[in-house]
Amino acid sequence: MRRCRGFTLVEVMVALMVIAIALPAMLRALYQQVDATGYLRDKSMAQWVATNKMTEVRLLLNRGGPFFRGERRGTEDMADREWYYWMESQPTDAPDFYRLQITVAAEEEQRETPLYTLVGFIYTTNVTGGGQ
């Protein structure tokens, strides 16, 4: 008699058990990857918003406009979303040099945990007091 070769019931059950254990772990890893991708996208957008605001300040100064002292806040539209930013300028020990910090978040409540913070230094003698 010819003997048929195939899987035994025990082998099939072991294979199913391995799949049952591995599949949820792979799905969890996939969900974490998707979340990380969304976070990196938001962080990149926040970086662009901060860089654009820094560039706007520098362009305004190059045209002879005044530099603000203190804090300003606002919103910026980018990629069909509204981004919240806070700009804070402080004088440094060097005369006419100011430290400008721009913080960007996706929600107004996230100021303490922003997506991105950009710090730059500005030289100017044309300074106005106070902020918005």
pLDDT averaged over the chain? Answer: 91
Structural domain contains residue 3: no
Residue 3, CA distances (Å) to 6, 77 in order: 10, 72
pLDDT score for 6: 76
Q: What is the pLDDT of residues 63-84, one digit of tens each?
A: 999 999 899 999 999 999 999 9
**Does the pLDDT value for residue 130 go beyond 60?**
no
66 CB-near residues (< 8 Å, 6+ apart): 126, 127, 128
| 50 located within any domain | yes
Number of Cβ within 10 Å of residue 127's Cβ equals: 14
Quote the CA–CA distance of 108 and 117 in Å, as a whole number.
15
Is residue 59 domain-resident?
yes
Find the mean pLDDT for residues 102-129. 92
* Among candidate residues 41, 54, 58, 47, the one with its CA nearest the CA of residue 104: 47
Q: How many domains does the chain have?
A: 1
pTM of the model: 0.74
Decide if 13 is inside a domain. Answer: yes
pLDDT higher than threshold 70 for residue 24: yes
pLDDT at 132: 39
The residues, ordered by sequence, that sit 6+ positions from 47 with a Cβ below 8 Å of its Cβ are 104, 116, 118
Give the pLDDT confidence score for residue 5 in this predicted structure: 75
**Residue 80 belongs to a domain with what CATH number?**
3.30.1300.30
Q: Is residue 71 part of a domain?
A: yes
- Judge whether 2 lies within some domain: no
What's the confidence (pLDDT) of residue 2? 66
Whole-number Å distance between alpha carbons of 54 and 121: 10
26 within domain boundaries: yes
Domain membership of residue 105 as a residue range = 9-128
Domain-located, residue 4: no
Percent of the chain with pLDDT over 70: 95
Cβ contacts of residue 7 below 8 Å, gap of 6+? 15
